[in-house]
Structure 1
């Protein structure tokens, strides 16, 4: 959470009194877009861990404090297992936490996907129904076949086929990570990859 609070405070996390001037201004310019998006509530979370990364528990607290400010989004809240999965698929260096660039990338995606979620919730139910889902995913940049949509609905939607906000975000985080992982392995751009058992297990188990 030190990382998140550093965004909100303009850098200069724990040093003495004299170091705040130029460094803080530079950090504010670099992080301005991220700062404006993060909830004030997230800045009040304590205690701060002595590192520059965001854990699954910290991510859960941030997201749940933010969604409480949006009553139009139907959600049961972000659970710890969901946040562990989100951290895992974003955690490129397998530290178990999100570093600066990883968190910034995730946060920018969440902002964009939240806007898409609201746009395609045409009946204002607070959820995305099965008929609204393909349009929402295509707007997010993911073009899937009908079989994949049906699989996603069974995995992330309720019995009526409605997907709430936390499941929508969780699904898109995983989908985005899987696309990026595939592209990194598809060196020749053929649309096909070969993986050995260890690579396959690494892709599927830590996610």
Structure 2
């Protein structure tokens, strides 16, 4: 089902796929059997498409289990998102680096940005993911701009992906297009299309974002 949905999103214009693999019980999982099966299916369905996964601490609920799982992957994603708000972020980033997997550094606050700069992993970061949970647009703009300021001051020049949720999804898509950043949309983050109607699926959300980006050069995932 994930492979079919991924193929539909690519057909709608997605340049990448960000997925949360699941075990046979339907729960999110980083276990090799879940990741390997998912990545292999997506590679077959969407050849040539970049594929990323989450490493969120909530998935395994145990830092050592997370690190062991990454070490056991056979079908490697192109990149993995790491939340800098999580305690084991440096160790997870190092394990990904050892496996040759690109790192998408997830920043939800100015504190996260300062932590990324302080641990000096910039050389191995593929992209910065500015992922804001605030539902007040003014607050969301303040946080995202604050993150960008910290990175600029540190001289950390990386591609940026601006990712909103619910209220901020479409304002962030527009902001990303204006700044020539990447963006990300999907049912995980919001089910409404720009006109307020409920999307039929991830492909419909992708198509709506692509329409906004049509004149730009950014990527939708």
TM-score between both structures, scaled by the size of structure 1: 0.24
Pair member with larger Rg: 1
Higher helix residue share: 1
More strand by share: 2
